[in-house]
Chain A
Amino acid sequence: MDAIVFYGFSALTLLAALVMVTQRSPTYSAFAFIVVLCSLSVVYGMLGSPFIAVLQIVVYAGAIMVLFLFVIMLLNVREEARSARDGWVLKGVAIALVAAFALQMASVLMRARTQFPRDFEATAARVAEVLFSLRFLYVFEATSILILAALVGAVVLAKKDL
Protein backbone atom coordinates (compact mmCIF):
# COMPACT_ATOMS: atom_id res chain seq x y z
CA MET A 1 0.00 0.00 0.00
CA ASP A 2 2.77 2.43 1.01
CA ALA A 3 4.71 1.62 -2.12
CA ILE A 4 1.67 2.23 -4.37
CA VAL A 5 1.09 5.68 -2.83
CA PHE A 6 4.80 6.54 -3.02
CA TYR A 7 5.30 5.55 -6.65
CA GLY A 8 1.89 6.83 -7.73
CA PHE A 9 2.52 10.30 -6.38
CA SER A 10 6.12 10.27 -7.66
CA ALA A 11 4.77 9.64 -11.16
CA LEU A 12 2.13 12.35 -10.70
CA THR A 13 4.84 14.80 -9.61
CA LEU A 14 6.93 14.13 -12.70
CA LEU A 15 3.90 14.28 -15.01
CA ALA A 16 2.66 17.58 -13.56
CA ALA A 17 6.19 19.02 -13.81
CA LEU A 18 6.30 18.11 -17.51
CA VAL A 19 2.86 19.68 -18.06
CA MET A 20 4.06 22.80 -16.24
CA VAL A 21 7.12 23.15 -18.45
CA THR A 22 5.38 22.48 -21.76
CA GLN A 23 2.47 24.82 -21.07
CA ARG A 24 2.40 28.17 -22.87
CA SER A 25 0.02 29.92 -20.51
CA PRO A 26 1.58 30.95 -17.16
CA THR A 27 -1.75 30.45 -15.36
CA TYR A 28 -1.91 26.78 -16.39
CA SER A 29 1.77 26.37 -15.47
CA ALA A 30 1.03 27.77 -12.03
CA PHE A 31 -1.83 25.32 -11.49
CA ALA A 32 0.35 22.41 -12.66
CA PHE A 33 3.03 23.60 -10.24
CA ILE A 34 0.50 23.47 -7.39
CA VAL A 35 -0.17 19.82 -8.32
CA VAL A 36 3.61 19.21 -8.25
CA LEU A 37 3.93 20.76 -4.79
CA CYS A 38 0.99 18.88 -3.28
CA SER A 39 2.02 15.47 -4.64
CA LEU A 40 5.63 16.15 -3.60
CA SER A 41 4.30 16.76 -0.11
CA VAL A 42 2.77 13.25 -0.16
CA VAL A 43 6.18 11.86 -1.21
CA TYR A 44 7.78 13.68 1.75
CA GLY A 45 5.15 12.16 4.04
CA MET A 46 5.85 8.66 2.71
CA LEU A 47 9.58 9.21 3.34
CA GLY A 48 8.85 9.79 7.03
CA SER A 49 8.82 13.60 7.19
CA PRO A 50 5.31 14.71 8.21
CA PHE A 51 6.51 18.11 9.43
CA ILE A 52 8.13 19.06 6.12
CA ALA A 53 5.11 17.64 4.26
CA VAL A 54 2.75 20.01 6.09
CA LEU A 55 5.21 22.88 5.71
CA GLN A 56 5.33 22.23 1.97
CA ILE A 57 1.55 22.63 1.70
CA VAL A 58 1.34 25.66 4.00
CA VAL A 59 4.39 27.61 2.81
CA TYR A 60 4.72 26.58 -0.85
CA ALA A 61 1.23 25.76 -2.06
CA GLY A 62 -0.40 28.12 0.43
CA ALA A 63 1.77 31.21 0.51
CA ILE A 64 4.26 31.29 -2.36
CA MET A 65 1.90 30.00 -5.07
CA VAL A 66 -0.85 32.40 -4.00
CA LEU A 67 1.70 35.19 -4.40
CA PHE A 68 2.57 33.90 -7.89
CA LEU A 69 -1.07 33.61 -8.95
CA PHE A 70 -1.73 37.05 -7.51
CA VAL A 71 0.98 38.58 -9.69
CA ILE A 72 -0.19 36.61 -12.77
CA MET A 73 -3.74 37.90 -12.31
CA LEU A 74 -2.53 41.40 -11.46
CA LEU A 75 -0.36 41.80 -14.56
CA ASN A 76 -2.91 40.24 -16.90
CA VAL A 77 -0.30 37.92 -18.39
CA ARG A 78 -1.06 36.57 -21.85
CA GLU A 79 0.05 33.36 -23.46
CA GLU A 80 3.57 33.26 -24.84
CA ALA A 81 3.63 34.48 -28.39
CA ARG A 82 5.19 32.20 -31.00
CA SER A 83 8.30 33.72 -32.53
CA ALA A 84 10.92 32.84 -35.10
CA ARG A 85 13.29 31.77 -32.34
CA ASP A 86 10.82 29.08 -31.31
CA GLY A 87 12.15 26.43 -33.69
CA TRP A 88 12.45 22.74 -32.90
CA VAL A 89 16.22 22.86 -33.41
CA LEU A 90 16.77 25.10 -30.38
CA LYS A 91 14.29 23.07 -28.36
CA GLY A 92 16.03 19.85 -29.40
CA VAL A 93 19.40 21.24 -28.29
CA ALA A 94 17.90 22.26 -24.95
CA ILE A 95 16.31 18.85 -24.43
CA ALA A 96 19.54 17.05 -25.35
CA LEU A 97 21.61 19.19 -22.96
CA VAL A 98 19.13 18.69 -20.13
CA ALA A 99 18.95 14.93 -20.77
CA ALA A 100 22.74 14.68 -20.56
CA PHE A 101 22.64 16.71 -17.35
CA ALA A 102 19.94 14.47 -15.87
CA LEU A 103 21.93 11.38 -16.79
CA GLN A 104 25.01 12.73 -15.02
CA MET A 105 23.10 13.72 -11.89
CA ALA A 106 21.27 10.39 -11.76
CA SER A 107 24.48 8.39 -12.17
CA VAL A 108 26.14 10.34 -9.34
CA LEU A 109 23.12 10.09 -7.02
CA MET A 110 22.64 6.38 -7.72
CA ARG A 111 26.20 5.77 -6.55
CA ALA A 112 25.37 7.06 -3.05
CA ARG A 113 25.36 4.30 -0.46
CA THR A 114 21.88 4.57 1.01
CA GLN A 115 20.11 2.67 3.76
CA PHE A 116 16.51 2.40 4.82
CA PRO A 117 16.45 2.28 8.64
CA ARG A 118 13.27 1.20 10.38
CA ASP A 119 11.00 3.62 12.32
CA PHE A 120 12.07 6.93 10.91
CA GLU A 121 9.59 9.64 11.87
CA ALA A 122 10.84 13.24 11.76
CA THR A 123 7.98 14.78 13.75
CA ALA A 124 7.70 18.50 14.44
CA ALA A 125 8.99 18.05 18.00
CA ARG A 126 12.12 16.19 16.89
CA VAL A 127 12.89 18.64 14.08
CA ALA A 128 12.32 21.56 16.46
CA GLU A 129 14.81 20.12 18.95
CA VAL A 130 17.52 20.27 16.29
CA LEU A 131 16.35 23.54 14.75
CA PHE A 132 16.41 25.44 18.04
CA SER A 133 19.62 23.84 19.26
CA LEU A 134 22.82 25.84 19.63
CA ARG A 135 24.14 24.44 16.35
CA PHE A 136 21.61 26.25 14.20
CA LEU A 137 21.23 29.32 16.44
CA TYR A 138 23.16 31.74 14.23
CA VAL A 139 21.66 30.37 11.02
CA PHE A 140 18.18 30.77 12.45
CA GLU A 141 18.84 34.37 13.54
CA ALA A 142 20.43 35.18 10.17
CA THR A 143 17.25 33.92 8.49
CA SER A 144 15.21 36.52 10.33
CA ILE A 145 17.49 39.25 9.01
CA LEU A 146 17.17 37.78 5.51
CA ILE A 147 13.38 37.89 5.70
CA LEU A 148 13.45 41.48 6.96
CA ALA A 149 15.76 42.46 4.08
CA ALA A 150 13.48 40.68 1.58
CA LEU A 151 10.46 42.51 3.01
CA VAL A 152 12.10 45.92 2.70
CA GLY A 153 13.53 45.05 -0.72
CA ALA A 154 10.14 43.93 -2.08
CA VAL A 155 8.48 47.16 -0.94
CA VAL A 156 11.25 49.35 -2.39
CA LEU A 157 11.26 47.50 -5.74
CA ALA A 158 7.50 47.41 -6.26
CA LYS A 159 6.79 50.95 -5.16
CA LYS A 160 6.24 53.42 -7.98
CA ASP A 161 8.28 56.37 -6.73
CA LEU A 162 10.35 56.37 -3.60
Chain B
Amino acid sequence: MTEAAVQHALLLSALLFAVGALGVFIRRNLITIFMCVELMLNAVNLAFIAFSRSLGMPDGLDGQVLVFFVMTVAAAEAAVGLAIVIALHRHKDTLDVDAFSLLKW
Protein backbone atom coordinates (compact mmCIF):
# COMPACT_ATOMS: atom_id res chain seq x y z
CA MET B 1 0.00 0.00 0.00
CA THR B 2 1.40 3.34 -1.04
CA GLU B 3 0.86 6.94 -0.03
CA ALA B 4 -1.91 7.38 -2.57
CA ALA B 5 -4.16 4.73 -0.98
CA VAL B 6 -5.92 7.30 1.22
CA GLN B 7 -6.65 9.51 -1.79
CA HIS B 8 -8.01 6.56 -3.72
CA ALA B 9 -10.22 5.59 -0.80
CA LEU B 10 -11.58 9.15 -0.76
CA LEU B 11 -12.21 8.95 -4.51
CA LEU B 12 -14.06 5.66 -4.01
CA SER B 13 -16.13 7.28 -1.28
CA ALA B 14 -17.15 10.15 -3.59
CA LEU B 15 -18.09 7.71 -6.35
CA LEU B 16 -20.10 5.49 -3.98
CA PHE B 17 -21.98 8.53 -2.68
CA ALA B 18 -22.76 9.58 -6.25
CA VAL B 19 -23.96 6.09 -7.17
CA GLY B 20 -26.22 6.11 -4.09
CA ALA B 21 -27.64 9.49 -5.09
CA LEU B 22 -28.22 8.19 -8.63
CA GLY B 23 -30.20 5.29 -7.17
CA VAL B 24 -32.36 7.68 -5.18
CA PHE B 25 -33.10 9.57 -8.43
CA ILE B 26 -33.81 6.71 -10.84
CA ARG B 27 -35.38 3.98 -8.68
CA ARG B 28 -39.06 4.11 -7.81
CA ASN B 29 -39.30 1.29 -5.29
CA LEU B 30 -39.37 2.62 -1.73
CA ILE B 31 -37.16 -0.13 -0.29
CA THR B 32 -34.54 0.24 -3.03
CA ILE B 33 -34.43 4.00 -2.47
CA PHE B 34 -33.98 3.38 1.23
CA MET B 35 -31.09 1.00 0.53
CA CYS B 36 -29.47 3.64 -1.69
CA VAL B 37 -29.60 6.09 1.24
CA GLU B 38 -27.81 3.46 3.33
CA LEU B 39 -25.21 3.21 0.56
CA MET B 40 -24.64 6.98 0.84
CA LEU B 41 -24.13 6.58 4.60
CA ASN B 42 -21.55 3.88 3.89
CA ALA B 43 -19.72 6.20 1.50
CA VAL B 44 -19.45 8.79 4.28
CA ASN B 45 -18.15 6.11 6.65
CA LEU B 46 -15.43 5.26 4.13
CA ALA B 47 -14.39 8.93 4.01
CA PHE B 48 -14.17 8.96 7.82
CA ILE B 49 -12.01 5.81 7.82
CA ALA B 50 -9.72 7.24 5.11
CA PHE B 51 -9.20 10.53 6.97
CA SER B 52 -8.67 8.59 10.18
CA ARG B 53 -5.94 6.57 8.45
CA SER B 54 -4.38 9.80 7.20
CA LEU B 55 -4.38 11.50 10.63
CA GLY B 56 -2.48 8.69 12.33
CA MET B 57 -2.60 7.07 15.68
CA PRO B 58 -3.90 9.22 18.55
CA ASP B 59 -5.95 11.79 16.58
CA GLY B 60 -7.30 9.46 13.93
CA LEU B 61 -9.19 7.36 16.46
CA ASP B 62 -11.91 10.04 16.64
CA GLY B 63 -12.89 9.13 13.08
CA GLN B 64 -13.36 5.51 14.09
CA VAL B 65 -15.63 6.56 16.96
CA LEU B 66 -17.68 8.73 14.59
CA VAL B 67 -18.12 5.77 12.22
CA PHE B 68 -19.40 3.80 15.20
CA PHE B 69 -22.01 6.49 15.90
CA VAL B 70 -23.01 6.72 12.24
CA MET B 71 -23.63 2.96 12.24
CA THR B 72 -25.77 3.24 15.36
CA VAL B 73 -27.86 6.00 13.83
CA ALA B 74 -28.16 3.99 10.60
CA ALA B 75 -29.48 1.00 12.54
CA ALA B 76 -32.06 3.16 14.32
CA GLU B 77 -32.99 4.79 11.00
CA ALA B 78 -33.45 1.41 9.33
CA ALA B 79 -35.76 0.22 12.10
CA VAL B 80 -38.00 3.30 11.93
CA GLY B 81 -37.84 3.58 8.13
CA LEU B 82 -38.85 -0.02 7.54
CA ALA B 83 -41.73 0.40 10.00
CA ILE B 84 -42.88 3.38 7.90
CA VAL B 85 -42.53 1.25 4.73
CA ILE B 86 -44.74 -1.44 6.26
CA ALA B 87 -47.33 1.14 7.31
CA LEU B 88 -47.35 2.71 3.81
CA HIS B 89 -47.69 -0.70 2.17
CA ARG B 90 -50.71 -1.41 4.37
CA HIS B 91 -52.41 1.80 3.19
CA LYS B 92 -51.76 1.64 -0.56
CA ASP B 93 -50.80 -1.99 -1.22
CA THR B 94 -47.83 -0.87 -3.30
CA LEU B 95 -44.30 0.44 -2.76
CA ASP B 96 -44.13 2.58 -5.90
CA VAL B 97 -43.19 6.11 -4.77
CA ASP B 98 -45.49 7.61 -7.41
CA ALA B 99 -48.43 6.25 -5.42
CA PHE B 100 -47.58 8.35 -2.38
CA SER B 101 -48.48 11.83 -3.57
CA LEU B 102 -50.86 12.99 -0.85
CA LEU B 103 -48.55 15.79 0.29
CA LYS B 104 -47.61 16.80 -3.24
CA TRP B 105 -48.62 20.26 -4.30
Contact = CB atoms under 8 A, between A and B. Distances in A.
Interface in B24-72: 25-29, 31-32, 34-36, 38-39, 42, 45-47, 49-57, 60-62, 64-65, 67-69, 71-72
Contact of B22 (A98, A110, A122, A146): A98
Contacts, number: 242
Chain B interface residue bracket vs A? 35 or more
Contact of A158 (B39, B57, B83): B83
A54 B4 CA distance: 24
B76 A147 contact: yes
Query: Which label, helix, strand, loop or mixed, suits the secondary structure of the B interface?
Result: helix
A102 B14 CA distance: 6
Nearest to B19: A17
A12 to B, nearest CB: 11
Interface of A: 2-3, 6-7, 10, 13-14, 17-18, 20-21, 23, 26, 29-30, 33, 36-37, 40, 43-44, 46-49, 51-52, 55-56, 59-60, 63-64, 67-68, 71-72, 74-75, 77, 80-81, 83, 85, 90-91, 94-95, 97-99, 101-102, 105-106, 109-110, 112, 114-117, 119-120, 122, 126-127, 129-131, 136, 139, 143, 146-147, 149-151, 153-155, 157-158, 160
